[in-house]
Amino acid sequence: MPRGVAIPEIRQQLFAAVERLIVRDGPSRLTGRAVTREAGVATGLLYAHFANFDDFLVGYWIDRSFVVSGEVAGLPERAGSGTVAGNLHQAILATPMETLLALARLMAFRPDLVTQVETVLGGGTAGLEAVEHAVAGYLAAERQLGRVAGGADVEALALAVVGVLHHVALTGGTEPAAHLRIQRAVAALTGDSPAVAAPKA
């Protein structure tokens, strides 16, 4: 992907800049010049580390996917402690809302980049899929402990949680309003109680 040896600090500076631009202005007007201007560096610097602008966007997507997956990786280990809703809320919002918002918007605007991202990360791991898998694993562990109803469809619940996260991000959610919307939705999905009712047919 990157051309030559990339300097991590420069890469992160550029990634932070594109993230701010997506959150502030949306992804439709992204250009290399806009990103480097936002980052306060020379335009050519981006292309010194990435083959082209799409390559840069893929690099950003991969980097932030690692951030998201790292924050939720330990979620299943929380089974049996705290509350189901509380654990979910804390884990999925451990990633800064700005990152979640920018990633969700980029995913929606440039779905054609998914293949390139998954070539590096593996299938079903680009973006918020890691959250869905971690939530499903966590709910399955809680189901074994009896804190989630035995008949609950944990994969469907995980999909619903990620759907809420994605919707709030795409509709311009910002802290603290976005956190409150997600917290309320997660509590409603889980019942905010020791047991989650199985979805009705």
Domains and CATH numbers, the chain: 8-190 (1.10.357.10)
- What percent of the residues of the chain are helix, what percent strand, and what percent coil, each to the nearest 5? 70, 0, 30
Q: Locate 173 and state its tokens.
A: 């959610």
Please name the residue that has the structure tokens 């010194």.
48
Compute the C-alpha angle 91/92/97, nearest 5°.
Answer: 125
Which pLDDT belongs to residue 140? 95
Please name the residue that has the structure tokens 């010049």.
33
pLDDT digits (tens, 9 = 90+) for 20-78: 999 999 999 899 999 999 999 998 999 999 999 999 999 999 999 988 888 888 899 99
CA distance 146 to 128: 27
Which pLDDT belongs to residue 172? 63
CA distance 39 to 130: 29
Which pLDDT belongs to residue 6? 47
pLDDT digits (tens, 9 = 90+) for 127-181: 788 889 999 999 999 999 999 888 889 999 999 998 988 888 877 666 678 888 8
Nearest-Å Rg of the Cα atoms of the chain is: 18
pLDDT band at 2 (very low <50, low <70, confident <90, very high): very low
Which pLDDT belongs to residue 173? 61
What is the pTM for the complete model shown?
Answer: 0.82
Question: Quick one: average pLDDT of 113-125?
Answer: 85
Q: Locate 131 and state its tokens.
A: 């959250």
- Secondary structure class of 25 (helix, strand, coil): helix
- Whether 106 shows a pLDDT value over 80: the answer reads yes
pLDDT digits (tens, 9 = 90+) for 79-94: 999 999 999 988 888 8
Longest dimension (CA), the chain: 58
DSSP 147: S
SS (H, E, C) 170-191: HCCCCCCHHHHHHHHHHHHHHC
Which pLDDT belongs to residue 128? 83
Closest-CA residue to 12 (of 47, 43, 46): 46
CA distance 141 to 139: 5
Which pLDDT belongs to residue 100? 87
CA distance 151 to 199: 8
